[in-house]
Amino acid sequence: MGQGRTAPPMRLLPLFLTLIALGCSHAASPAPTSSQRGAEELRALLAELIAVDTSNPPGNETAAAQVAARWLREAGIEAEIIEPAPGRGNLLARLKGSGKERPLLVLAHLDTVPVKREEWATDPWQLTERAGFLYGRGVQDNKGMAAASVLALRRLGREGVKLSRDIILYLGADEEVGAGHGLEWMLANRPALREAELALNEGGLTELDADRRRVRFVALQAAERVSRNVVLKATGPGGHSSAPPAAPNPLVRVSAAVARIGALTFPARLTPAARLHLQGRAPLTPGELGEALRRIAASPDAPPQDAVDTVARLDPALAAVMRSTCVPTVFQAGTRPNVIPATAEATINCRLLPDEDAKALHARLVAAVADPSIQVEMNTSPPDSPMSPVGDNAMFRAARAAAARVWPGVPVIPRQSTGTTESSLLRRAGIHAYGIDLFALTPEDARTAHAPNERIPVTSLQPGAEFVYLLLRELAR
Ligand SMILES: [Zn+2]
């Protein structure tokens, strides 16, 4: 396959057919509208970014940053590439405003997770159109946003829009691994980044109905849960399996503890972002799930347990927004079939609500383990994940204004993500960060991020570019 440009874009097809019908083989082609040009440019830049393999490790982001820098410089926008380590390029560019307000920081990351080539139906490093989708590693996560942000800056610059604040574009390295070559390094070494008041990052959710007819909601990530690993450790004398000692061996003890922790659930509780999210989702959700969401969102205190159980059964990801979770993920014990292990260790990955009491959660785990011979190791310092303000503020007003133009009538609501993003670093630096998802995706599309055959619907491309442009323009009015 070529670059996904084998057929004229759907939008241009009626015009194309009309010209053929009129026999206008010499008709002058009409000037493209700016949104048509935007969609073509987005596809071209996205194809160039995807063609650079930035699988992390090793990353090799500089080559992709150079592509973005060229597109910016062509439009007269200075771009600097900073390498904390060879090949690990981070791009910074700035569109100047009047300075009336503190800057807006727009972020996207250029590295991707690696691929297993044999699991892909297309070349992961060639943007490919097939049956209404664009495929390529990073098309969602996160080169689509990188490309749309570059083009939004170019368009704002070209149109000479007067800005009340600087817009700083940061295209980062090393988001997927976090080995110190990306945002954390840049925040420490480029203090100008910390001057930003607001930031736009990945992590939102713009959900397309399963039948792909309409966008259900636009959710801006304003808070996220915190990942903490808990390690259970037991030791014993070991020995030959043919003559077991009286005391149960470490493997048996840790296994029993893992089973008890696996059966634990933590109480449901709504942070402000989670409450507004469920309130927004309830009227859009039919049936039993919608009814459960309505009851949870309406309860001022602890949500009704039967409603929480219903959500956990019908939409586990939504249930995880309402409480901390602890999931056993790794077990290590034993070397040979006939040797009783002297040590056994299990790792439990906990995801804490952003305002969770980590000490209390640890105490709950210790009580569940109910075996003083097992160590339960965990970092019990308070979660360092501030939440960005939600409600009627500049970010939500701007997002509502932009969404009203692109997806008329679609609600804009906050979201607390179950996973983590680099926005926690920004929030710790005092910047109000929000996650967007510029491309409308069905849950099935969204699951292809980090998976084989990563894709976006072709029809989501142009509205996504328009949304980013309008949102930046609104925020810097
Ligand atoms: Zn990712």
Q: List pLDDT tens digits, range 227-241.
A: 999 999 999 999 999
Dihedral of CA atoms 83, 88, 94, 99 in degrees, nearest 10, equals: -70
The percentage of residues in the chain with a pLDDT greater than 90, rounded to a whole number, is: 88
Q: Does domain 227-377 have CATH number 3.30.70.360?
A: yes
Supply the mean pLDDT for the chain. Answer: 92
- Binning pLDDT at 50, 70 and 90, where does residue 245 land? confident
Q: Is 30 left (phi over 0), alpha (psi -120 to 50) or beta?
A: beta
Q: How far is the CA of 271 from the centre of ligand 1 (A)?
A: 25
Is the model's pLDDT at 451 over the cut of 70?
yes
Q: Is 441 left (phi over 0), alpha (psi -120 to 50) or beta?
A: beta
Of 120, 127, 119, 117, nearest to 1 by C-alpha is 127
SS3 content of the chain, % helix, strand, coil (to 5): 40, 20, 40
Helix (H) / strand (E) element for 378: namely none
Give me the pLDDT at residue 384, please. 86
Is the model's pLDDT at 199 over the cut of 90?
yes
- Binning pLDDT at 50, 70 and 90, where does residue 7 land? very low
Give me the pLDDT at residue 23, please. 36
Q: What is the pTM of this model?
A: 0.88
Q: Can you name the residues that pair with 352 across neighbouring β-strands? A: 226
Q: How far is the CA of 405 from the centre of ligand 1 (A)?
A: 28
Q: List pLDDT tens digits, range 358-414.
A: 999 999 999 999 999 999 999 999 988 899 999 999 999 999 999 999 999 999 999
Q: How far is the CA of 172 from the centre of ligand 1 (A)?
A: 12
Q: How far is the CA of 368 from the centre of ligand 1 (A)?
A: 33
The arithmetic mean of pLDDT across residues 219-233, rounded, is 97
What is the Cα–Cα distance from 47 to 41, expressed in whole angstroms? 10
Q: How far is the CA of 451 from the centre of ligand 1 (A)?
A: 10
Q: How far is the CA of 202 from the centre of ligand 1 (A)?
A: 9
Q: How far is the CA of 140 from the centre of ligand 1 (A)?
A: 9
* Tokens coding 213: 């007819």
Domain(s) labelled CATH 3.40.630.10 in the chain stretch across 10-224+387-475
Angle 215-220-224 (CA atoms, 0-180°, nearest 5)?
130
Helix (H) / strand (E) element for 162: namely none
Q: How far is the CA of 360 from the centre of ligand 1 (A)?
A: 31
Q: How far is the CA of 279 from the centre of ligand 1 (A)?
A: 28
Angle 197-200-202 (CA atoms, 0-180°, nearest 5)?
145
Residue in the block written with tokens 């817009």: 167
Domain(s) labelled CATH 3.30.70.360 in the chain stretch across 227-377
Is the model's pLDDT at 41 over the cut of 80?
yes
Q: List pLDDT tens digits, range 254-294.
A: 999 999 999 999 999 999 999 999 999 999 999 999 999 99
Q: Is 4 left (phi over 0), alpha (psi -120 to 50) or beta?
A: left
Q: How far is the CA of 141 from the centre of ligand 1 (A)?
A: 5
- C-beta separation of 91 from 67 below 8 A: no
Q: How far is the CA of 182 from the centre of ligand 1 (A)?
A: 14
Fold (topology level) of 10-224+387-475:
Aminopeptidase (3.40.630)
